[in-house]
Amino acid sequence: MIKWLFMNRSIRTKIVWSNMVISLVPLLILSYLFYQTSTSSLEQAMIRSSDQNAEYVSDNLDQYFRNLSTSALQVYGFKRVIDLMENGTNYSDANIMDIRESLAGYYRLVVSNNADIIKITVLGSDNTVQDSWSRADSYNVIELNDQVPHYREIPDLPFQHSLMFTYTDPVIEQDLFVYAMTIYDPFYKKKFGSLVFYVKGKDFYKKMEKYNRSPNVIVLQNERGETFYRTSEAYAGEVKPYVRPERMIDSHAHQLHFSQNRELLTSTSYLDHANVGLSVLYPSTELADNRRNTLRITIVVLVLVMLVIAGFSLLAQQFITRPIQYLGKAMRAVRRGKFNTTLKPNRWHDDLSELTANFNFMTEKIQELIEKEYKMQLRNKEAQFLALQMQINPHFLYNTLQTIGGKAVLIGDYEIHEMCRALGDMFRYSFYEGNMESTLGQELAHLNNYLYIQQLRFEESLKTEFEVQSELMDCSMIRFMLQPIMENTIVHALGQEDHHLLVIGVTAVREGKDVLIVIRDNGTGMETEKLAELQAALASPAPEVFSGVSIGLRNVHERIRLFYGPPYGLTLDSTLGEGTIVKIRIPYKKTGAEHV
Per-residue CA distances from 392 to 427, 431, 450, 548, 552 (Å): 12, 11, 14, 11, 9
> What pLDDT, on a 0 to 100 scale, did the predictor assign at position 100?
87
- Eight-class DSSP state of 551: S
> How far apart, in whole angstroms, are the C-alpha atoms of residue 258 and residue 48?
13
> What pLDDT, on a 0 to 100 scale, did the predictor assign at position 275?
86
Q: Cα dihedral sign for 36, 42, 47, 48?
A: positive
Whether pLDDT at 7 is above 70: no
Whether pLDDT at 181 is above 50: yes
Whether the bond into 215 is cis, omega within 30 of 0:
yes
Q: Which residue has the higher pLDDT, 406 or 493?
A: 493
292-296 mean pLDDT: 76
Whether pLDDT at 32 is above 80: no
> What pLDDT, on a 0 to 100 scale, did the predictor assign at position 596?
37
Contact assessment for residue 197 and residue 71, using Cβ atoms and an 8 Å cutoff: yes
- Mind giving me the DSSP string for 51-104? HHHHHHHHHHHHHHHHHHHHHHHGGGG-HHHHHHHHH---TT-TTHHHHHHHHH
215-236 pLDDT tens trace: 788 899 888 888 888 888 888 7
Whether pLDDT at 183 is above 50: yes
Q: Which residue has the higher pLDDT, 53 or 248?
A: 53
Choose among 289, 260, 296, 286: nearest CA to 44: 286
Whether pLDDT at 564 is above 90: no
Which residues, other chains included, contact 316 with Cβ-Cβ below 8 Å and sequence gap of 6+? 15
> What pLDDT, on a 0 to 100 scale, did the predictor assign at position 392?
47
Whether pLDDT at 546 is above 50: no
pLDDT band at residue 250 under the 50/70/90 scheme: low
pLDDT band at residue 351 under the 50/70/90 scheme: low
Helices (H) and strands (E) counted in the chain, each on its own, are 13, 17
Choose among 432, 513, 523: nearest CA to 480: 432
Whether pLDDT at 593 is above 50: no
> What pLDDT, on a 0 to 100 scale, did the predictor assign at position 399?
58
> What pLDDT, on a 0 to 100 scale, did the predictor assign at position 93?
61
CB-CB neighbours of 500 under 10 Å: 13
> What pLDDT, on a 0 to 100 scale, did the predictor assign at position 595?
40
Whether pLDDT at 75 is above 80: yes
Judged by DSSP in three states, 521 sits in strand
Whether pLDDT at 382 is above 60: no
pLDDT band at residue 96 under the 50/70/90 scheme: confident
> How far apart, in whole angstroms, are the C-alpha atoms of residue 107 and residue 136?
14
> What pLDDT, on a 0 to 100 scale, did the predictor assign at position 379?
46
Per-residue CA distances from 310 to 13, 31, 296, 390, 561 (Å): 10, 20, 21, 67, 53
189-213 mean pLDDT: 88
415-430 mean pLDDT: 68
Helix-strand-coil split of the chain, %, nearest 5: 50, 20, 30
Range from 20-34, 170-184, 235-249, 553-567 carrying the lowest mean pLDDT: 20-34
> What pLDDT, on a 0 to 100 scale, did the predictor assign at position 520?
93
Query: Could you tell me the fold of the domain covering 49-284?
Result: Beta-Lactamase (3.30.450)
> What pLDDT, on a 0 to 100 scale, did the predictor assign at position 540?
73
Which residues, other chains included, contact 196 with Cβ-Cβ below 8 Å and sequence gap of 6+? 120, 121, 123, 144, 154, 178, 179, 180
Share of the chain above pLDDT 90, in %: 15
Range from 273-277, 343-347, 476-480 carrying the lowest mean pLDDT: 343-347
104-148 pLDDT tens trace: 999 999 999 888 999 999 999 988 888 899 988 888 889 888 888
- Eight-class DSSP state of 138: G
450-494 pLDDT tens trace: 888 888 778 778 889 999 988 999 999 988 889 888 888 888 877
The ranges assigned to domains in the chain are 49-284, 339-390, 435-587
> How far apart, in whole angstroms, are the C-alpha atoms of residue 582 and residue 557?
11
Q: Which residue has the higher pLDDT, 341 or 121?
A: 121
> What pLDDT, on a 0 to 100 scale, did the predictor assign at position 151?
86
pLDDT band at residue 175 under the 50/70/90 scheme: very high
Whether pLDDT at 572 is above 80: yes
Average pLDDT, the chain: 78
Superfamily of chain region 435-587: Histidine kinase-like ATPase, C-terminal domain (3.30.565.10)
Q: Which residue has the higher pLDDT, 329 or 179?
A: 179
> What pLDDT, on a 0 to 100 scale, did the predictor assign at position 302?
74
Choose among 251, 292, 297: nearest CA to 274: 251
- Eight-class DSSP state of 475: B
Check residue 314 and give left, alpha or beta (phi > 0: left; psi -120 to 50: alpha): alpha
Whether pLDDT at 306 is above 80: no
Which residues, other chains included, contact 433 with Cβ-Cβ below 8 Å and sequence gap of 6+? none
pLDDT band at residue 402 under the 50/70/90 scheme: low
Q: Which residue has the higher pLDDT, 591 or 9?
A: 591
